[in-house]
Structure formats: structure tokens, C-alpha cells
Amino acid sequence: MRPASRSPQQPSRSTSTTTRPIEVTPDLERRLMAKVSPEPTSGCWLWTGSVNTSGYGQIGRGGKDGSLVLVHRASYEIHRGPIPKGMVLDHLCRCRTCVNPAHLEVVTNRENIRRGVSPIAKHMADTCCRGHQLDEANLRVELKWKKGMLRESRHCLRCERDNRAARAARRTQEAA
Ligand SMILES: [Zn+2]
Ligand SMILES: [Zn+2]
């Protein structure tokens, strides 16, 4: 056995799409902040644009590059500076669509996995990111296979309705 190498571990390649450096431009900041809706109760800055299959907000890098970056990472870099290489952001508020830099903390990926919301904690959560009660009448539970595991995601029907209405209103506005 060789002694453990002192060189820092390289992040695995599979995470490279999310950790690729983000080029912060005034255009990116403008497009990002245009789709943020502050939530007065929690202080979350909720993203109202498109989300990926894991529920995280995403936005185009801009320019000729059509690829997407995660909005919470972009927001952190805009407001607080570059995320150190190989590090991930942990949502202290547990709202994946929140882009408030004050709710984001730089941690190692291992720390983030350790902190992850346990299935029990998730079941206990009885309100959404906007503070709506997630009771039977307002909850949509979705089961999805992901990486060989059955994952449960919980959606607030009222927020889904509001988001749809907001998107429709924006489309009408843009078309006008
Ligand atoms: Zn938040
Ligand atoms: Zn809600």
C-alpha cells in the first residue's frame, strides 16, 4: 500500500457540468435577478424560471454557449464571488429554488451529502418554501426512479398554480 497522496482529490468528472466556472456578466445577473421572487417570511429569493429534474433552477450561460448553469451557483458567484474548486453549495434553508446568497454555504460534497435531508425530515416538512401548508388538499407527491433509487418529491399545488400563472403572464407581457 502506498501512503495516502497529499495532493487534493480531483472532483469526479460526473459533476463537471455543475462545477464548470461560471462567467459572471452584467447580462447574466440581469437575466437571473429578473426571475427572482423574494419570499418575505423566510427571506428566500425564489427562482421562478426553469428548473432541472432535481428541482434546482437553471439558466443559460449566455452568449453563444447554449449550456445551462445552476442559478443558485450563479447567484452565489454574482453576489459573493467564486466558489472554490471542487466545493458545492448547501442550501441552509432547504429550498432548492432559493438563490439568496445568504442562504447558501460553501461545503465539501461529502459534507453536503452527510447533511442531506433525511427521508424522515422530509416527511415531517409540512410547509413549502413559501410557507403554504402541505396538507392533503395542497400536496402532490411524485415518485421517480433516479440513479437506481426511488425518490419522492413533494410539490405544493398552490405554488405550482402560481408559477404557471406567473409564466403565462410573462409570456403575455413578452408578446405584447
Ligand atoms: Zn432560502
Ligand atoms: Zn407553496
Ligand nearest to the CA of 104: 1
Q: How far is the CA of 127 from the centre of ligand 2 (A)?
A: 7
Q: How far is the CA of 49 from the centre of ligand 1 (A)?
A: 16
Residue 142, CB-side half-sphere exposure with 13 Å CA sphere: 11
* Cell numbers representing residue 166 in the block: 406567473
Average pLDDT over every residue of 45-74? 90
Same domain, yes or no: 20 and 88: yes
Residue 28: predicted pLDDT: 95
Residue 108 backbone phi and psi in degrees, to 5: -75, 160
In percent, the amount of the chain with pLDDT more than 70 equals 81
Residue 12 clears pLDDT 50, i.e. is over it: no
Task: Report residue 9's pLDDT band, with 50, 70 and 90 as the boundaries.
Answer: very low
Residue 11 clears pLDDT 60, i.e. is over it: no
Ligand nearest to the CA of 155: 2
Same domain, yes or no: 143 and 166: yes
Longest dimension (CA), the chain: 69
Same domain, yes or no: 41 and 110: yes
Question: Residue 105 falls within a domain, yes or no?
Answer: yes
Same domain, yes or no: 151 and 95: no
Q: DSSP strand E in 36-112: where?
A: 36-38, 45-47, 58-62, 65-70, 87-91, 104-108
Question: Residue 144 falls within a domain, yes or no?
Answer: yes
Q: How far is the CA of 64 from the centre of ligand 1 (A)?
A: 31
The Cα 63–Cα 79 span in angstroms is 21
- pLDDT 10s digits, 91-113: 988 899 999 999 999 988 777 77
Q: How far is the CA of 42 from the centre of ligand 2 (A)?
A: 12
Same domain, yes or no: 25 and 109: yes
Give the residue from 67, 82, 115 where a domain finishes: 115
Q: How far is the CA of 72 from the centre of ligand 2 (A)?
A: 19
25, 109, 44, 34: CA torsion to nearest 10: 20
Tell me the β-bridge partners of 46.
37, 98
* Cell numbers representing residue 175 in the block: 408578446
Among 31-35, 77-81, 103-107, 163-167, name the one with the lowest average pLDDT: 163-167
Q: How far is the CA of 101 from the centre of ligand 2 (A)?
A: 21
Residue 150: predicted pLDDT: 80
Q: How far is the CA of 48 from the centre of ligand 2 (A)?
A: 12
Give the residue from 94, 115, 136 where a domain finishes: 115
Structural domains of the chain, count = 2
Q: How far is the CA of 112 from the centre of ligand 1 (A)?
A: 16
Among 12-26, 65-79, 100-114, 145-159, name the one with the lowest average pLDDT: 12-26
Same domain, yes or no: 126 and 99: no
Residue 53: predicted pLDDT: 83
Report the chain's mean pLDDT, rounded to a whole number: 81
41 DSSP 8-state letter: T
Question: Residue 122 falls within a domain, yes or no?
Answer: yes
Question: Residue 99 falls within a domain, yes or no?
Answer: yes
Domain region containing 66 = 16-115
Q: How far is the CA of 7 from the centre of ligand 1 (A)?
A: 35
Among 47-51, 60-64, 133-137, name the one with the lowest average pLDDT: 60-64
Question: Residue 1 falls within a domain, yes or no?
Answer: no
Residue 110 backbone phi and psi in degrees, to 5: -60, -45
Same domain, yes or no: 107 and 169: no
Residue 103: predicted pLDDT: 93
- pLDDT 10s digits, 29-46: 999 999 999 999 889 999
Same domain, yes or no: 108 and 32: yes
Same domain, yes or no: 138 and 88: no
Residue 26: predicted pLDDT: 95
